[in-house]
Structure 1
Amino acid sequence: MTATSGKTGATHRPASFIDAVAAEWIKIRTVRSTFWTLLAGIVVTIGLSVLLASFFVSTFDRLTPHDRAQFDPAAYGLVGINFGMVAFGVLGVLVVTGEYATGMIRTSLTAVPRRPRLLAAKALVLGLVVLVVGEVVSFAAYFLSQLIFSGKHLDEGLGHDGVLRAVIGGGLYLTLIALLALAVGTLLRHTAGSVTTVLGLLFVLPIIGSFLPGDFGRTIRKLLPSNAGGAVMGTRPSADMLSPWTGIGVFALYTVILLAAAFVIFQWRDA
């Protein structure tokens, strides 16, 4: 009887954080939606960067001297990130809302009753996966676009001032977008609503901000999430953007605030 009790106790050992991370890793690499969403992000980011680089080179001779002087090879080579980030945002949402949609969240909470531990495991696995994929995508978009720019001798190597930071920053930006989307998905628990909210934060707010007048409007535009985060990918100073590290820092702060809110709500709200 004692042996049986001991065996039962071992079987029902509370899941550790490592167990939770291992479970989330299995989920994220076996769910089909994860693969297709990541693939979409990769294709869109690299594909649009290459396409727009080719278009720019084909029209370069018709540009004004002012436009040529304003050209930023690194930032322009990473422009696909501004579109591919939609897929990474959707991935962040699906990591949590997918379980709410199928009811699997109850199983997850049964296996890992400590809710902060479960959400932290989701955030860690998602962050690491997107960081690795995001950096690969960012470097691929950069190298391919610079190869195209080299036809007009417009390319800039990683050794140029700010270029390496911009390329690494592209991957960091995608990672923060995915984590911000995870937080929104946790707060709203609904896929369509969460995706709409994330797209609103990243795309609609800058449109609204563009109509704000004067110095006040310029300041607000700098601080909007996508404008702040995207500043890390520029290598030319701009009066309309925050400095690169300040910008990504502001975007990271938005992400941390939303994640903190998500942890609090997730802890106390019913599944």
Structure 2
Amino acid sequence: MSSLAHRVRFGHALHAEWVKLRSLRSTWYTLACLFAVGLGITVLATGRAGERYASASAAERLAWDPTELSLTTYLVAQLIIGVLGTLVVTSEYATGLVRTSLAVTPRRHRLLAAKVVVAAAVAVVAGQALMFATFLIGQTLLAAQDVPYARLGDPGVISAVMGGGLYLAAIALLAIGLGTILRATAGALTTLVGIVFLVPGFAGLLPAWLEGLLDFWPTMGAAAVFKTVPSPDFPHPWLNLGGMCLGVAAVLAAAFVVFQRRDL
């Protein structure tokens, strides 16, 4: 086994994981769903924005953020891209292919690292493509309704769009960590839903000493990166997103430890 581990280099593991990921029908179904649902939500969110803007108060018009409006799709997109991240790991446990993968790549940290790198690359490309597409479609619809809209060159717009893609990629990596630790698609996705929706929903019930965590929580402080109008609650969105990425890194570190130590 030691000679096999020596022969299987990280580049080989990367290539194998890429072949496995692109060979799964679920990968392409999930990516198709990501864009279909993501773009559909953008059309729904911006399609009748003219009516809302016409009836808005002066304060609401001052806080009008067309960029955030068109990127609202992230609320659902993060769950879909989370499915993709989860399946990178849990699909092999469901089929038993993980035994073969470990036989070919005995160094477990190398195998999991290859999964993380491949999934991260796909998530970054898909997330950024979705963010740019939703922004352009959303702003086109807003412009057609004769309401204030944004251009890519406007202050804060590129930051919000690029930050949105990184946010989705971080969610995909979080899903990989959860899938590795729990080894079950349903369990990992349930935990992910709890993280991105349930915890923020019960934020008001958290003790005061835990409230600072919300600055770095998905759909809370980290989601401020989607805004171009500064939020008084989260005035440093990139710092918030960085804190979320550190949390994701901690989950991945735990996943590497668990994956290394258990039988499968």
TM-score by length of 1: 0.91
| Corresponding position: 1:209 with 2:209 | no
Q: CA RMSD in A?
A: 2.0
Distance 1:253 1:211 in 2: 24
- The match for 1:32 among 25, 38, 58 is 25
Distance 1:95 1:62 in 2: 46
Count of aligned pairs between the two proteins: 262
Q: 4+ runs of 1 displaced by more than 4 Å?
A: 10-13, 215-218
Conservation of the 8 A alpha-carbon contact between 1:226 and 1:251? no
- The match for 2:68 among 63, 75, 89 is 75
Conservation of the 8 A alpha-carbon contact between 1:210 and 1:221? no
Instruction: Show structure 2 runs of 5+ residues with no match.
Output: none
- The match for 1:251 among 244, 251, 258 is 244
Conservation of the 8 A alpha-carbon contact between 2:127 and 2:168? yes
Deviation at 1:211, TM superposition (A): 4.2
Conservation of the 8 A alpha-carbon contact between 1:210 and 1:217? no
TM-score by length of 2: 0.93
Aligned residue identity for 2:23: T
Deviation at 1:220, TM superposition (A): 4.4
Sequence identity, in percent? Answer: 40
- The match for 1:43 among 28, 36, 40 is 36
Distance 2:245 2:19 in 1: 27
TM alignment of 1:1-271, pairs within 5 A: 14-151=7-144, 152-212=146-206, 219-271=212-264
Distance 2:205 2:48 in 1: 29
Aligned residue identity for 2:88: V
Distance 2:5 2:66 in 1: 57
Distance 2:80 2:152 in 1: 27
Greater Rg over alpha carbons, structure: 1
Distance 1:226 1:125 in 2: 25
Distance 1:11 1:256 in 2: 29
Aligned residue identity for 1:190: A
Conservation of the 8 A alpha-carbon contact between 2:160 and 2:226? yes
Q: 1:169-219 CA deviation, whole Å, 9 max, x = no partner?
A: 111111000001000000111111110001110111110104458x76864
Distance 2:220 2:5 in 1: 48
Distance 1:18 1:125 in 2: 11
Distance of aligned partners of 1:263 and 1:217 in 2 relative to their CA distance in 1, 3 Å threshold: closer
Deviation at 1:249, TM superposition (A): 0.1
Instruction: Show structure 1 runs of 5+ residues with no match.
Output: 1-9
